Amino acid sequence: MEVRAIARNIRISPQKARLVADCIRGKSVEDAAAILMALPKKGARIIKKVLNSAVANAEQLPGIDVDSLYVKRIFIDEGPALRRWRPRAMGRAYRIKHRLSHITIILDEMYY
């Protein structure tokens, strides 16, 4: 049985978050948590929170063995972009896009 956790409008660009997501795809929950603890990236801390939320969602369901969970799917979608302006020379303004992400983690039980 699949369980999921979704975090929306997270202030990290999808490109940077996908670098971290690729490291834990297909791993068991324990291995994924250990990898995320060791990675020195901002995305690792954020994805670890979503992973812990998915595990907590699994604990609420009867008949699921939390120790046998693995990361079945993880994907990072692009959210809305915050548009800001930066002043430049001769009265011009350049647009800055602060990108946001939607992070989805789907866990499933391993069957031996």
In the numeric block, which tokens belong to residue 96?
Answer: 């800055």
pLDDT in tens, 8-67: 999 999 999 999 999 999 999 999 999 999 999 999 999 999 999 999 999 999 989 999
Residue found under tokens 């068991």: 28
DSSP 83: E
Domain 3-109 CATH assignment equals 3.90.470.10: yes
Question: What are the DSSP calls for 88-111, one per residue?
Answer: -GGG-EEEEEEEEEEEEEEEEE--
The single-letter code of the amino acid at 110 is M
Q: How far is residue 28 from each of residues 12, 70, 76, measured CA to CA in Å?
A: 25, 4, 19
Tokens representing residue 19 in the block: 């670098």
- What is the side-by-side strand order in the sheet with 93-109? 3-10, 93-109, 69-87
- The structural domains of the chain, with segments of one domain joined by +, span 3-109
pLDDT, tens digit, for every residue of 40-57? 999 999 999 999 999 999
